[in-house]
Amino acid sequence: MDVTTGFFYLFSVVLLYAAFRVVTSPNPVHAVLHLMLAFSQAAGIWLLLKAEFLAIVLVMVYLGAVMVLFLFVVMMLDIRIDQLRKNFWKNFPLAAVIFAIVAFEMGVVLIGGFSAIDAPKAIPAVMDAAGNVVPYSNVKALGTMLYTEYLFPVQVAAVILLVAMIAAIALTLRQRKDSKAIDASLQVRVRAADRLQLVKVEASKPPAPLVPPAADAEEKKV
């Protein structure tokens, strides 16, 4: 077994473990962290397949931006785990059947679909117009194409992602009942009359009779 095969098995084992923990972790924050680990291992497998651009996009876009946004959203949602797990065993048989079907289809594709496909080979060099050998980089070629011919679609996709990020934050930014924050505008508009309010309360029992000071002194002498 060569080094490439060893790294493939290492990335695959960690990827399967992380994917399993995504769906079995009771804490949603831990599930998102395991999903980020799964994306990083998938990027390593893309590198072994000599698809550097896809690996970089997976790390920068999904792992560096989308999953961090998911983590923030999950932390702001304040999900009640006990309420979500009430109907777990009720829906477990249907989930098990769907899982078995998906696992069978993936097994058929992985066992029989890629048996006759050779390993991808990177292009070491290409010839320019003058006939000189120049090194070839698919990352550079894709980057040049994206930011020259497809610059407008890239900018549109960036704007869509920005709008989605703002919408996710706006949907989760709600008034929480357990928050102790005070509106600053209310503090500015406060008046002295609003700070103290005098309330007349009726006495629960009649007051004691007042004794004049002279009569009080005479009673003490007696």
The phi and psi torsions of 7 (rounded to 5 degrees) equal -65, -35
Question: pLDDT at residue 124 above 60?
Answer: no
Residues 163-192, mean pLDDT to the nearest whole number = 73
Q: What is the pLDDT of residues 94-111, one digit of tens each?
A: 888 998 998 888 788 777
pLDDT of res. 158: 83
pLDDT of res. 14: 93
Distance in angstroms (rounded) separating the CA atoms of residues 194 and 199: 13
**pLDDT > 90: what percent of the chain?**
7
All structural domains of the chain, each given as residue ranges with its CATH number in brackets, are: 1-84+92-122 (1.20.120.1200), 123-169 (no CATH)
| CA distance readout (Å), 189 to 120, 180, 185, 195, 198 | 69, 19, 6, 12, 21
**At which residue do the structure tokens 């769907």 appear?**
98
Concatenating the DSSP letter of every residue in 75-118 gives HHHT--HHHHTTTHHHHHHHHHHHHHHHHHHHHHHHHHTSTTPP
Q: Within a 10 A sphere around the Cβ of 131, how many other Cβ atoms?
A: 6
Distance in angstroms (rounded) separating the CA atoms of residues 82 and 88: 10
More confident residue, 182 or 25: 25
Question: pLDDT at residue 24 above 80?
Answer: yes
pLDDT of res. 57: 83
Question: pLDDT at residue 123 above 60?
Answer: no
pTM equals 0.51
